[in-house]
Each structure stands twice: as C-alpha cells, then as structure tokens.
Amino acid sequence: MTDDELRTDSGDKVTHVAVKGLSEPGNIGGGLLLGFSMLTFSFWANAMGLTDTAGFTVAIGIVLLGFFVIYFVGGLYLLKQGNTFGGCTYVVFASSFGLFAGAVYVTGTVCAAIGLPCDFTLAGIAFLVSGFFLLAVLPGLKYAAKTDFLIYLFAGIGVAAFGFAGIGVAPAAMNPIGGWALFLAAIGSFYAGVAAVLAGAGVDVPCGKPFFKKR
C-alpha cells in the first residue's frame, strides 16, 4: 500500500491510497469523447443536407435522450474523481443536448403528428447558453493540450451557431457555420478519445502542447 498527496480543485490536500493488487479506476473520458464525436458528426451531416431532414428530428431526439443518461452518469463519475471541469461540462451537455434538445425534438415530432403546437425555440435557447458556456470556460484550458482547447473552441462556436439558428437569428448563415464548426470538433473529439483509450493501454498519442506556457 502506498500513499501520495493530491489536491482537489479547491486546493485542499487529500491522500490517495493505492492498494497493491487492486486496479485503479479507469478513465471514462475517452468513451465520452467518442460519443460526442458521433453526435457532432451527425449534426454536421444534417446541416450539410446529407440526412433525411424530416426523419432526422425524431431520430436524433431519441438518441439525445439516451445521451442524457450517458452524459449525466459520466459527468457525475468525473465529479466523483475530483474533475470539476470535465464533470460539469458533461452535466451541461446532459442538460442541453440530452434533456432540452432530446425532449423538444421528440415532443415536437409527436405534436406535429397529432396537430398540436410545439415551440422548438427552447432547444435553441439551450444550445445558445451551452455554446457560450463552452467558450466562456476556455481560459480553464489554456494550459491543456491543444486538442482539448480546440475541441471546446469549435464545439462552442458550433453549438452557439445552432442556438442562434434555433431562435430564428439568420438560420441560413448559422446552420452551415454550426455544421462545419461541429465537424472540426468531431474530428478533434475522435482523435482525443482514441488517444485517451490508448493511454490506458500504455500508448502515448501526442495531443499538442498547450497554447500558453505556465509562468
């Protein structure tokens, strides 16, 4: 058994105890990133007209409701590990993508079928808020790998752009911007997710040195 000191986000000291013969908790981050890559590739494909738009709404809505569970549980897991930054990000994703967008898309499709009104603006508002959230927390990644910084940057731009389109602000311009921004975020997420999984197998995949150096 070995002890070593760690610090939480608040700076408090905690003691990490490693017991020989027992494996350490795995890193769920790679799986969550690959899931995000699937979602963002899907939104890009829809924005580019590569999907059946009429059927996309209900299909992605059901998928997003499933991701609500995945992201919420994943966020709580990261928070339990002391990762406030990543944990809160995935809880935000669970709320905006999973709960707001998923529920609104599915409900809207059902309402359209039975002749009831449904306001899709709620999903746009959630996208707009979460997109600006991703951009607002970028300073927290200034010492992170370039890949992580760029994922948040492009995801923030893309989600915010879809948010503007969702509330009726220049949708013809915002949808392509959102689509291509999420395409870049999807590529970065796929790469970072694979890198995280391979790291668990002892394979070091470079993700780029930080844009900023610590003084």
The confidence score (pLDDT) of residue 122 equals 93
**204 domain-assigned:** no
| Residue 212 counted as domain residue | no
Residue 126 belongs to some domain of the structure:
yes
User: How much is the pLDDT for 1?
Assistant: 42
pTM of the entire structure?
A: 0.85
Examine residue 16 and state whether it is found in any structural domain, yes or no: yes
Q: Are 143 and 210 in contact (CB under 8 A)?
A: yes
Domain boundaries, position 141: 2-199
Residue at 179 is within a domain: yes
| Cβ(86)–Cβ(29) below 8 Å | yes
pLDDT per residue as tens digits for the range 8-43: 455 555 555 545 555 567 788 999 999 999 999 999
Residue 206 has pLDDT above 90, yes or no: yes
pLDDT tens-digit map of 131-184: 999 999 999 999 999 999 999 999 999 999 999 999 999 999 999 999 999 999
What is the domain count for the chain?
A: 1
In a domain, 123, yes or no: yes
Q: Which residues contact 185 (CB under 8 A, 6 or more apart)?
A: 36, 40, 150, 151, 154, 155, 158
Residue 215 maps to a domain? no
Please report, for the domain that includes residue 160, its CATH number. Answer: 1.25.40
Mean pLDDT (the chain) is: 89
